[in-house]
Chain A
């Protein structure tokens, strides 16, 4: 129940295209869903995050779509660029009752390659 399933494992998109990465979860207690971008040999960087009280959030070329009833959320990268080539991780979290801390459960990651 603590898993976050992410797909696809890898994705190749032409420059200017739309990249779509999907995540699904089971635990209805999750209430914060961030997306991170990671370049090789670097730490993850926060891209965008959403709470379940909204169905969509957009920041620049990045949009999160959230479907609470289906327990799914997705990242859309519009006008994909070669510089977007990286690994993307979704995560889900909720306030841990024992520690009072938001702990993340990460998806398995999607390796995106944008062709020039």
Chain B
């Protein structure tokens, strides 16, 4: 079975604080993992993917196969990071997590 779990529906932090959005997955094969973001009144767009191992807008995510996790992290959150974040697993099909709404307070 292919499953993506984002345990937090809502996450609120203050500006400048570190933020971590959790994502756990289950998949028997080799997964491809992505983080998508949807800012207010904008379309869903790719934030980053694990194969490129890049940092986008200060966010990073490391695939931990032992813990089957792909948590999204940023050391210093900004107000403009407030958005809906979706973790996605592409194995046999693409599966999205339920999403986490991040609010960064001033």
Bound together: no
